Every structure is written in structure tokens, then in C-alpha cells.
Structure 1
Amino acid sequence: MIPAARSLLRSTALSLLIVGLVAGCRSEVALSANDERLQVITTTGILRDLVSNVGGDQVAVSSLVRDGADPHSYEPSLRDIRDVVYADVAFSNYLLLEEQAIIKALDANLREGVPNISLAEGAVKYAAEIIPLVEDVSLDTIWLGMRVRGTGAVHGANRASDVLLSATSADGPGDVVAYLTGSFGNPSVYIDSTDGFDPANGFRADTAMLPPDAHTHMSWAFTKPGIYRLSMRAQLSVDPQAPSVPMGEQVFTFAVGVDPHSVPGMPAATVLSAGHADLTVDLDQQRLYLFADPEGSGEAKQQVYDPARTVIEVPSKALLEVPGDRRLRFLGRPGSRVYQLPQAVLGKHVHGEIDPHLWQNVRNAISYTELIRDTLIEVDPRGAAAYRSNASAYIHRLEQLDTYMRNTIADIPPSQRHLITTHDAFSYLGQAYGVNISGFVAPNPAVEPSLADRRRLTETIRNLKIPAVFLEPNLAARSTTLNEVAREEGLRVCAIYGDTFDRDITNYVQMMRFNADSLRDCLTTTKQGRPQ
């Protein structure tokens, strides 16, 4: 780093604005203005390891997300932000992999002019292969989420901006609630008509907040049958200190447990009753509409529907009883009945159009490495020879790793290459190395998996003669349903690593070798542990 810049940093670091952050722990050495090495901040441990291999002794690198934590939900600490302040270059994965608070912390606290590289996007120029994020909804009702389209560039929007979709009123025979259920069953309520819509609470009351170019799953519950009209308002917040930009208002109509073709005032309305639909904010057109694929063919088939001429059906078969879980009391008393459209995929699953877990294909990690090399050379030309040499040696290791992955997984007979897990982070591994992603726990995370859900999973395991299921170590202890099914069926529960390291797995090469070995060892044994 240029000495004058280091001097300026020492005098100004404490004056940077740091807001909205909670304390957390970390295991990496903190960055420092007194360290003459190039100071690098990454969002995750996996990226930290890639940078370390390219930078060698000439860089000091730290990650915002501590090892063992989930980048989808991690909240950065004040110490994390100090590292951002000292950084000479920053690397994130992005494609909405990281929790939005991480991206905001990074973008808001980097010094002006510091390169801020989104590796998943930039690596495409280095021949990285990307996979559209395809979700198997497996529902017999419509899947209704929320979405942001367009860039909003004319309004100054960037990846750290917030798009706010707020309910302003609800007209219907009962109450309406929209909420997300987290990976471990903790709900976050975003719209709740039971306590009214009070403008005095500000624009964040009864509001879902998304980053640009994202969409999220959502559960929708209605307490009584009938016609509901939900008024929504959208706003774009580019700067927390400045007024938000209006993005339109709209009324969405729901037919709950009644004939959707007989809604008063809408005699020729289009009825959405299946597939994938989103209440959508268009930042470029500054309007709200429905973006839907009634046939369930996938996001590429979605098209715009005018809410004034469209009815969303919530059929009678969506009627269910509120479970006894205290966390779901906002839906009503245990045993009371609500009509519900489930959110389809377990977890606080906010994402874009592309699966962000590119590194599960080792060829993509090579592309990341090449982009990291060129970025470090641009920031620190004096170290160019070392960065090129380090990158060349590491890419050779990655090429050997890619061969190892292929050869190891090839030892598994094709009929036995079935991965059942709870976290959808392995599509790249599956596509690159010929592994089928074959199962999930439950399509409806709003309630405990039903007997039918468990039966379907059990039948899949039996029909495919699957000897093992796979869980990430940091999630395994709390994945109760899959653990219970595995125990009942006499299956092994094996480890697989997706987003993070731990005390046992501390680098990328080790992680991928472990995954290949785990798949081979666990899928080539019977339920009793004997070789197939």
C-alpha cells in the first residue's frame, strides 16, 4: 500500500460511519494499517483461502464471516468493520450468496478507490460456468414470493440498496399474514393485518426488504375464506440518510377457499393457481405487478400479469391446522385453521437468478484464482511476479484436485450417485462430477414435515436404495427430520461441506477432497456399512 495512503488511513479510520451491526466472534488475524503487506478483506473463509494461496507472504487477508458460520445469515461485528476500513482490496462472492448486511458493511466502509470485486460475476470472464437457480417447488398450490427486477441505476441503486415492499391496507373477511420461516423453524413476520397498518410506524412497518435483483420465498396465511384485496407500496432506499424513491402502488386480489372466477368486478380475470409467482417491484419501470409462470416450467417462463386483471387462488386444499409451536402463535391458537400458501423452500432464502455456489466445481475455483491474481497485480504491481508464480502453482494443485474429484466420484456406480441433503448448495458439484441431487426434507417449512412429507422422502430413499444422507457439520445437529428418517431407515449420516470451514476442514482443497471421499465412501456401502 502507498505509505501516504496508510498515513491518511490511520487518521481517518475512526471517523467512518459504522451503524446497525451486532457483535460477533472471529478467528482470523485482524488487518492493520501498520502492516506493510497488502491488506485484503474477503466475505467468506473459502475466498480467504483462495486469496492466501495467490498472495502468499505478500498479503494479509481476513474474512468477515467466521469459519463455521453461515454466510447466508451472518451479521458482521464492529471488529469486522475495522478490517474493512484497513483493506486495500476486497473480494466478495456475491450473486446474493452473502447476507445483505455483510455486503452493506463491505460497500459502506471501504475507502474510496479500493477495488471491490464480486468474484462470482467477474469469474465468468475467466470461463467460469454458471447454473441458473432452479427450484423444485413440489407443491400443489401456487408458490407466491416477492421479487425485484431491473437495475434502478437511474435512481443510483447499487447492490447495497434496499427495496421495500410494504402492505398499506388489507380488505377481506379475515386477517392476512406473510412471513418467512428460517432454516431452523424461526419465523420472521413481514405483513400482519391483525394489528392494522399504522402509517405512524414508518415505511418499514409491515414491510419486506430485499436487495436489488433478488427474490424471496414467502408463506401467506389467511384466517377465513373469502375475497381479500391487499394494497402494497414499493420504495427504493439508496441512502439511509435520504428520502426513499417511490416505486409504485398496487392492489393484489386473493380468492381464499372460494371460486376464483367469480370475484366481484373482475369477471374475466386471469386466475393464478399453480406454478411460481412473485409480487414484483420493477425498479426501471417504477411499478408493481405480478411476475408469474402458471405452468410451473421455471423462472425463465415467467411473464408479467396486471394485478388489476389477475386473481391469486388460495384453494380449499390449502386449509391446515396451526401447530402447537409457540413461534407460530401469530397465526392463531393451536388447532385453529388457516388457509396457507407455503414458501416452498426451507430457510431465509433470498437469492438471484444464478446459483452462487460456483466453487463446488473446481474449474470455477480456478477462474476465481485467475481473477484474484489479476486484481492483486493491478493493486500491487511490484508483487506481480510473486502473484503469478503463486497462482500458477495453486492452479496446478486445483487441476490435480479436479482430476481427483472426477476419479473418486467415478468409483461410485452411476445408479448410486444420489445426494440427499437439506441445503441446496451442491448443484455445481452435481453437474461437474455426475452426482444427482435427489431429495429434500419437506416442501412446506411453515409447519413440521407431515407424515406424507416423511413418507415421500422415505420412499425416495427406498426406491433408489440410498445408503446415506449428507449434512453439513454446522447444520447436522439441528436437522432433526433428516436425522430421524436416517435413523429409522438404518442410513448413515455423512458429512459434506458447502459454504464454510471448521476446525477439521481448514482450506478449500481439503474441503473438496473430503466431499469426494465422503460421497464415495458413503454411497458405495449398504445400510449396514458393507461394500455394495
Structure 2
Amino acid sequence: MTSNPHRIARAAVGAVLALTAVLAASSCSAPALSSDPADDGELRVATTTGILADLVRNVAGDRATVTQMVPDGADPHSWEPSLRTIRDVAYADVAFSNYLLLEEHAIIRALDANLPPTATSVSVAEEAAKEGATILPLIEDRSLDTVWLGMRVLGTGSQYGADRASTIDLIATGVDGPGDAASYLTTSFGAPDIGFASSDGFDPASGYADDTSVLPADAHQHMSWAFTAPGVYRIPFEARLRAREGDRPVVLDGATAVFAVGVAPDEVAAAEGRRILSAGHADITVDLERGGVALAVDEGALAPAPGGGPDDEERSSKRDAPLAPGMEVVDLDDVVIDVPTRTLTQIPGAPGFRFLGAPGSDAYVLPQAVLGKHVHGEIDPHLWHDAHNAAAYVRVIRDALIAADPDGADDYRRNAAAYAALLDEVDAEVAATIATIPPERRRLVTTNDAYGYLANAYGLDVAGFVAPNPGVEPSVADRIRLAATLDDLDIPAVFLEPNLARTRSTLRTTAQEAGVRVCPLYGDTLDATAPTYVDMMRFNAQSLARCLGGHDPEEE
């Protein structure tokens, strides 16, 4: 049986958690610091990201040692924690995470499992809302002309004792159909991360470990769904909640997804009284509020059941209030998902896609709508792209440091005030620089959805994403459509994060063939070119102005 990347990642995290328990218990199990960190009197602060670390250093000054779990240049959405970073957590007095489901869940689990019980843990973005930060819903591109089907967890599971470190398993236990089926996500670097695949069978003895997708509570992720032959497929799903590491899992009710692949779904719908889903956003969903597997779907996206009337009324009464904005929750067993003939494509040649079949052979693919391993919730977690929100982060950090180290209160207040004044200057600089862009050119086209706060704060319009179909290699037709879109909107440039730009050669080529510049824009991480938050904000404003027809006011 082929290895499942999800299983490998979970095993790695389990090893980290187990080994770091030993590290935390004995200071002699790792290279010694200059003194015993547990009683040397030094304030130690652990952060998840480099951006948070930079903000903390500006407030803490020389009163604290600040470390970060995710190295500069790495993506916090997908980074896996290391033993070295976990050791820093084990000796921390205060920990700052962004959360709102920004960080890879393994980071949050490792942080919560290894932080000393006397330490303080702060989810900065969530606390910043109480300090005047602007909070925006996560707006995603829904321009695919087929169903955009992902996986979701609805609810927090608090009635089961779940918290942010808990995990929910969504398990495919088999595939009944004329060919093989699989679900996977395409990561930021183009490699597939398998949810389930029928090509290597299903192993109940292992608890279907190789065919299990793991999500945190109240989250969802984008997926691609592939089928190797036309016909009707039935895929049963089970679910279980693991409130805490080592606890007996809570088993939830299962359900079966039915797909009409390359064939009209009408016959299945009529024979089984199902409604047809052929467009819009939907997620195979673990509904923790009602205790089972269901389907979350855009309101109004489902066609009426054959005959309509009481069947639809009965179904809607089963699941009354929607738990996700703009979506309704319905019984998965009452829906047939349309995978039309136009989804037919060729399996990529990269070795990682062998679980789908031979390179170049045909497969029907419902693509994920957003490239990358991107587990998130309903709130956009990238608050820092608005400098006013960064100032709210600073107030949260200041208060947490004062609580942990009251003797340093005056220093923390003074440092926070000075840095807040700098952020006000940066906010004005960014606004002035972006204001030099002609209004009709203030359209932002990127490869992900991380820039809603930047657009909202500084008068930009998020016009869309570069990738026309990130689940597979863009075809000639895809590139033609993209070129037409960019031409219609008169888009002079698209923007890629510097840490990803070199790896997205297909997207770069597509934009260049459309006669559009490819320019850098920082999102979740810093690097040597932009080593601080202030540097990042200034760089982004200047890059936007330079590439969209504006200029730097300081050059006048």
C-alpha cells in the first residue's frame, strides 16, 4: 500500500509530541542553555510566526528572549513543528499564536501540548478584535464552472470536551464504482496531499489510516476529487472526534456520497429521490452539532428533488439553521454530485500523482478552487495587512507581557507606545503610496485569498486569482480564458509571494503569456529582503505602486 502524506505528517507530529514530553521533563535531554531555563528568571516568549515574533520584540525590547516556531520564508499554513522549536515552547512563559485557523494545526497541537501549565497562551488575532481590530469574513473565489467540493467541520465540539487542539477524522471506507476514486489537495509547491485513494485498497485493520483526512474543529479545506472512469460512484464516509491525544475517539454517524461522473445525474436523482448538485461551493462535512457526516452547500445551489413538494420540506426540516454563512446543511444521503464530462483531463506526469493512474491517462477531476494546503475558518486570519490591526496586536501583546512580568510594565508600555507611533507613520506611508495608483488600476490579482485586509484598508479591489484550475496543470484553453480575463479588466500585473514565486512556474508562464507582469507581494512570512513587519508593509506598498502604475511619493 502506498504511503499517505497525511499519515506521515500525523506520525511525525506524534513523534514530536512524544519526544518533547521527555525534553520538557528533563533539561539534560537536550543541549544545555547558558543556565537552567526553568529558574534563571529570564522571560521567554514563544511565537508561531516571524511576523508575531517581530511585533513581540518591538514591545518586549531586551526584557525577553523571543523565538518563533515557523522559520522565515516558510508557510505557516503548512509548516510542521520541529524538536528544536518545541523545546523553546517547553521553556516558554508566554506564547503568542495568531490562530483563527491561520497556523497548520500540527503547530497549534504541539504548542498547546508542550507549553508549561504555568505559562500564558494568547491567540492574538482573536484578542485583537477586543482591542479595536477590524475583522473580515474570508472571501474566496468561486468562479469554477463545476462544483467546488471540499471537506469541513461544523461546530466546535465543546459538548465532547473538544478545544482548538482537538482533531476530527473524516474517513473514506471504500469506493463502489466503475473505476478508482481519490480526493487530494494540491499543496503550494504542486505536490498532492492524499485524503483517500481507492487504487491501493482500504484497510479496516488500521482504522483506514491511509484514507483519513484530519481537520481541526470549525474548519474547512479545499480538495480535488478524481475518478478514472465514467459512471456512478458511492463513497461511504465515517467520522470520529479525538478531543485529546490518547482519549477514546467519539464515533459519529456516517453517510454516503454519490457522484455521477461523466453521465447525467438525472437517472440517479429520479430513482433515489436525490437532489442534484452541479455548481457552487459544497463540503463533505462532519457536523459536530448534530453528530454525523452531512453536506454543507451554498444556499439555493441544489436543484429540487424529482417531484418536489413534501420531500424537500421534510429534508429541510431535518437540519434547520445554517451553521456557515451563506450555506445550508443537508443530508449527504439525499444528494447526487454532478461531475460533468468537461472535467475530463489528463493525469499529471509528476511521480506524486501515480495514485491516480498512469501519467497522461484520463481522469475526471473536480479541482480545488484555491491552490495550497489551506485549512481555514469563516474569518480571514490575515489581520496584519492593515496597520491599524497590527497596532491592535501590539496592545494585546503589551497587556500579556505586563501580566507575565509586572516589573517590566513601564518598559512594555513605553515600547508599545513608540512602536504604535511608528505603525501610524507606516499606515500613512502605505496609504499615500497606494493612492498614487490610478483608481481604475487598483485591482489585486494574486494566487490566494490572504489580502482582504490590505484591500479593505487601502482602497484596492481583490479582482481574483491567477490560477484558473490549480488542481491540475492549466490547459491551453485555461490560459486563453485567463488572458481574456486579465485583458478585460486591464490588469497590468499579478502578484506572487516571494517564497512561492519560483515554484509556480506554470502560473508565472501563464501570466507572462498574457503579457502581464509578475510582481512580489509578501503574505504570511518575512525574509532577508523584508526582515520586519514594517519592512514588509513598505515593500508591499511600493511593489503595488510600481507594478500597477503608481509611484513612491518619497521619490517626488
> TM-score with structure 1 length normalisation?
0.90
Partner of 1:128: 133
Partner of 2:349: 324
Secondary structure at 1:263 match in 2 = helix
Residue 416 of structure 1 pairs with residue 441 of structure 2: yes
Which amino acid letter does the alignment assign opposite residue 169 of structure 1? G
Contact kept? 2:199, 2:356, Cα under 8 Å: no
Residue 449 of structure 1 pairs with residue 454 of structure 2: no
Pairing of 1:40-55 with structure 2 (within 5 A): 40-55=45-60
2:425 aligned residue (390, 400, 403): 400
Deviations along 1:62-98, one digit per CA (max 9) or x if unpaired, are 1111111111111111110110011101000001111
Deviations along 1:207-231, one digit per CA (max 9) or x if unpaired, are 1111111101111112222222211
1:517 aligned residue (538, 542, 546): 542
Residue 465 of structure 1 pairs with residue 470 of structure 2: no
Pairing of 1:475-494 with structure 2 (within 5 A): 475-489=500-514, 491-494=516-519
107-116 or 286-295: which moved more? 286-295
Pairing of 1:140-219 with structure 2 (within 5 A): 140-219=145-224
- Aligned equivalents of 1:49 and 1:274: distance in 2? 43
1:247 aligned residue (239, 246, 252): 252
- Aligned equivalents of 1:295 and 1:424: distance in 2? 24
| TM-fit CA distance, 1:105 | 1.2
Contact kept? 1:276, 1:294, Cα under 8 Å: no
2:451 aligned residue (418, 426, 441): 426
| TM-fit CA distance, 1:295 | 4.6
Deviations along 1:196-216, one digit per CA (max 9) or x if unpaired, are 222112242311111111101
- Aligned equivalents of 2:196 and 2:342: distance in 1? 23
289-298 or 468-477: which moved more? 289-298
Partner of 2:363: 338
Structure 2 gap segments, 5+ residues each = 1-19, 27-33, 303-321
Partner of 1:23: none
Which amino acid letter does the alignment assign opposite residue 127 of structure 1? G
Which amino acid letter does the alignment assign opposite residue 409 of structure 1? I
Number of residues paired by the alignment? 506
- Aligned equivalents of 2:414 and 2:255: distance in 1? 57
- Aligned equivalents of 2:464 and 2:190: distance in 1? 19
| TM-fit CA distance, 1:34 | 6.1
1:499 aligned residue (518, 524, 528): 524
Pairing of 1:86-101 with structure 2 (within 5 A): 86-101=91-106
Q: Given the superposition, is the C-alpha separation of residues 387 and 228 from structure 1 closer, same or farther in structure 2, using an over 3 Å criterion?
A: same
Residue 355 of structure 1 pairs with residue 373 of structure 2: no
33-42 or 398-407: which moved more? 33-42
Which amino acid letter does the alignment assign opposite residue 464 of structure 1? L
- Aligned equivalents of 2:251 and 2:22: distance in 1? 34
- Aligned equivalents of 1:380 and 1:491: distance in 2? 52
2:62 aligned residue (34, 57, 61): 57
C-alpha RMSD of the superposition = 2.5
Which amino acid letter does the alignment assign opposite residue 81 of structure 1? I
2:332 aligned residue (300, 307, 310): 307
Contact kept? 2:436, 2:550, Cα under 8 Å: no
Partner of 1:440: 465
Which amino acid letter does the alignment assign opposite residue 333 of structure 1? A
478-487 or 131-140: which moved more? 478-487
| TM-fit CA distance, 1:288 | 1.1
Partner of 2:82: 77
| TM-fit CA distance, 1:316 | 2.1
Contact kept? 2:445, 2:464, Cα under 8 Å: yes
Which amino acid letter does the alignment assign opposite residue 534 of structure 2? V
Secondary structure at 2:173 match in 1 = strand
Partner of 1:226: 231
Contact kept? 2:367, 2:472, Cα under 8 Å: no
Deviations along 1:435-488, one digit per CA (max 9) or x if unpaired, are 122242223222111222222322233333333332222111112133224444
Q: Given the superposition, is the C-alpha separation of residues 371 and 202 from structure 1 closer, same or farther in structure 2, using an over 3 Å criterion?
A: same
Q: Given the superposition, is the C-alpha separation of residues 225 and 467 from structure 1 closer, same or farther in structure 2, using an over 3 Å criterion?
A: closer
Partner of 1:21: none
Contact kept? 1:30, 1:62, Cα under 8 Å: no
Which amino acid letter does the alignment assign opposite residue 523 of structure 1? L
Secondary structure at 2:174 match in 1 = strand
Q: Given the superposition, is the C-alpha separation of residues 491 and 17 from structure 1 closer, same or farther in structure 2, using an over 3 Å criterion?
A: farther
Q: Given the superposition, is the C-alpha separation of residues 459 and 30 from structure 1 closer, same or farther in structure 2, using an over 3 Å criterion?
A: farther
Pairing of 1:277-316 with structure 2 (within 5 A): 277-293=282-298, 295=300, 300-316=325-341
Which amino acid letter does the alignment assign opposite residue 263 of structure 1? V
Which amino acid letter does the alignment assign opposite residue 325 of structure 1? A
Contact kept? 1:16, 1:109, Cα under 8 Å: yes
Partner of 1:4: none
- Aligned equivalents of 1:145 and 1:400: distance in 2? 41
Which amino acid letter does the alignment assign opposite residue 106 of structure 1? L
- Aligned equivalents of 2:51 and 2:419: distance in 1? 14
- Aligned equivalents of 1:35 and 1:413: distance in 2? 56
| TM-fit CA distance, 1:109 | 0.2
- Aligned equivalents of 1:369 and 1:223: distance in 2? 52
295-304 or 136-145: which moved more? 295-304
449-458 or 512-521: which moved more? 449-458
Secondary structure at 2:111 match in 1 = helix
- Aligned equivalents of 2:510 and 2:292: distance in 1? 46
1:111 aligned residue (104, 111, 116): 116
Contact kept? 2:24, 2:87, Cα under 8 Å: no
Q: Given the superposition, is the C-alpha separation of residues 460 and 262 from structure 1 closer, same or farther in structure 2, using an over 3 Å criterion?
A: closer
Contact kept? 2:162, 2:244, Cα under 8 Å: no
Residue 258 of structure 1 pairs with residue 283 of structure 2: no
Contact kept? 1:440, 1:457, Cα under 8 Å: no
- Aligned equivalents of 2:294 and 2:54: distance in 1? 43
- Aligned equivalents of 1:267 and 1:278: distance in 2? 21
Which amino acid letter does the alignment assign opposite residue 459 of structure 2? G
Contact kept? 1:266, 1:309, Cα under 8 Å: no
Contact kept? 2:167, 2:243, Cα under 8 Å: yes
Contact kept? 1:377, 1:384, Cα under 8 Å: yes
Deviations along 1:119-170, one digit per CA (max 9) or x if unpaired, are 1111111111111112112111111111001111121111111110111122
| TM-fit CA distance, 1:234 | 0.1
> TM-score with structure 2 length normalisation?
0.86
83-92 or 252-261: which moved more? 252-261
- Aligned equivalents of 1:515 and 1:35: distance in 2? 41
Q: Given the superposition, is the C-alpha separation of residues 525 and 128 from structure 1 closer, same or farther in structure 2, using an over 3 Å criterion?
A: closer
Deviations along 1:100-128, one digit per CA (max 9) or x if unpaired, are 11111110000113111111111111111
Contact kept? 2:189, 2:500, Cα under 8 Å: no
| TM-fit CA distance, 1:489 | 4.9
Deviations along 1:306-331, one digit per CA (max 9) or x if unpaired, are 12222111122222232333322222
Which amino acid letter does the alignment assign opposite residue 305 of structure 1? V
Q: Structure 1 vs Structure 2: percent identity of aligned residues?
A: 55
Deviations along 1:281-324, one digit per CA (max 9) or x if unpaired, are 11232111111116569962211111222211112222223233
Secondary structure at 1:351 match in 2 = coil
Residue 370 of structure 1 pairs with residue 395 of structure 2: yes
Secondary structure at 1:300 match in 2 = coil
Which amino acid letter does the alignment assign opposite residue 112 of structure 1? P
Contact kept? 1:31, 1:86, Cα under 8 Å: no
